[in-house]
Chain A
Amino acid sequence: MTESWIEAALLSDVPQDDVIAVAVQGQEIALYGVDGDVYATDNICTHGHARLCEGFLEGHEIECPLHQGRFDIRSGAAKCAPLTENIRTYPVRIDGDKVYLDLG
């Protein structure tokens, strides 16, 4: 498998215990900062068409702002109703102050 790391953001732009959205190669990605680590998922909820970057991050779970579905940002696992599909996650690499993603 080939990996292609794409620069997505500055580490200093990723808020701790919160979420921001970035556009990477035309894709909307949500970046989360938790305990010094950065996680990345698709930004659009698999249920409605809400943006997770406007949601509510608690620990490693992001709650959708519209219908309160929750995903584990580490695995993408859907944790509760109304979600019936997991969300896609992306590998993250941090190099200095730069955050790289592998969009696969």
Chain B
Amino acid sequence: MDSKRSDTATALAPTATIVIIGAGQAGGWAAQTLRNEGFTGRLVLIGDEAHPPHERPPLSKAVLAGEAAPASTWLLKPEAFAALGLEWWLDTRVTRIDRAAKRLETANGELLSYDKLILCTGGRARALTVPGVDTAAVHTLRTIGDALALAPALRPERSIVVIGGGWIGLEVAATARCKGADVTVLEAQSRLCERTVPPEVSEHLLGLHASHGTRVMLGANIAGIAPGTGGRSVVTLADGSTLACHAIVAGVGLVPNDELAREAGLECDGGVVVDAGCRTSDPDIFAAGDVAVTPNPWAGRRLRLESWQNAQEQGIAAARAALGLAVDYQPLPWFWSDQYGMNLQIHGIPLPSHRVVARGTPGADSFVLFYLDGDVVKAALGSNAARDLRFARRHIELCKPVDASRLADPSVPMSRQ
């Protein structure tokens, strides 16, 4: 790729050491960016997995389905990764940040000094806490290892209970159904993806999964899990009903890995707090990706974005910031999910106060919903409409007034709105 080196001189000496903790997507892009921007000093990338930096979205889809190898998710081909000239400390856990000495300690007892530190520690799947959870092998899905462990359970004549009707739960449910398993999704709330999409989209998702033969139970609270017969587990709901299944998958959220930062006294609030320059409360420490809590002008508050876009873009931004380059990271949130043949994308943050304008029919294969404040598009959400959504994204970014009746008319191209 083009290395667009900035004109700004970097503030770091060529002998400086930059350490990145976390070798996921954010850490991987931070590392690449440091080199693309001309940093020639010592670069150490520390990851607690044995895999080089990779993208996670395929782990709940093509990798879980066995249609793509884990290596297909790597950010870089091996030779390009090697060409970065960095030290990759794999399978390594950092146990302490000594900010006064600017030094890290690892679980193996190694010490590593840094000039700048970038935290890309991400998060971990939240553990299910219900009575009897220890009696069953409850899967979660976050890592390549998780996907490979769950994959063999997804086959015909196997029943799967997915606990949690959020994005991970629904993507796993879709993959499991496509592999022929019998699937039940249990969601405690009254609708799917309640935290992230408006009710009309929850309806669309419910219809999509029902049409593929998945049972979705809403308002389903779990009383406990117990061993059953034939290697099955039995999930008991609060109303006393029971479900026997061969495997349980919990998709009940992500816990940010901010313990290291908290123990080091960095400001944390459900993740590591950073400013628009990706800077933590320590000027030599930056954070990016799933672990970072960032002020977001589109939301009007600070938030932690768990998305592919944020892992990549904030990883890049944090690397530039660590080099002393000007960074003002204010992304329009962008999220997508692939389930069955549906590519659903959300640009911006739909709010209940927005006026909804539909282009196409919600529930159809392809449609777009626009979320307007007055006559300005603030967010857009659509199914199988990537091209229209790209134009919608531009409308949102430009804050340009639109004519809602033309927006709703699919015969008027989005390029002429």
Contact = CB atoms under 8 A, between A and B. Distances in A.
Interface in B380-394: 386-387, 390-391
A42 interface: no
A87 B343 CA distance: 24
Size category, B interface: 10 to 19
Contacts of B313: 81
Nearest to B343: A66
B387 A78 contact: no
A66 B386 CA distance: 7
A82 B308 CA distance: 10
A86 B55 CA distance: 19
Interface in A57-104: 63, 65-68, 77-86
A77 B2 contact: yes
Q: Which of B76, B80, B312, B316 has the most CB of A within 10 A?
A: B312
Given A66-B343, A78-B2, A79-B2, A84 B75 contact: yes
Interface in A37-56: 54-56
B386 A81 contact: no
Contacts of B387: 54-56, 65
B2 A84 contact: no
Interface of B: 1-2, 29, 32, 55, 75-77, 80, 308, 312-313, 316, 336, 343, 386-387, 390-391
26 contacts: A54-B386, A54-B387, A55-B387, A56-B390, A56-B391, A65-B386, A65-B387, A66-B343, A67-B308, A77-B1, A77-B2, A78-B1, A79-B1, A79-B2, A81-B1, A81-B29, A81-B312, A81-B313, A81-B316, A82-B312, A83-B1, A84-B1, A84-B32, A85-B1, A85-B77, A86-B1
> Considering the complex of A and B, which 6 residue pairs feature the smallest CB-CB distances, nearest first?
A65-B386, A78-B1, A56-B390, A81-B312, A84-B76, A77-B2
Given A80-B1, A86-B1, 11 more contacts: A55-B387, A55-B390, A56-B387, A63-B390, A65-B390, A66-B336, A66-B343, A67-B308, A77-B2, A81-B29, A84-B80
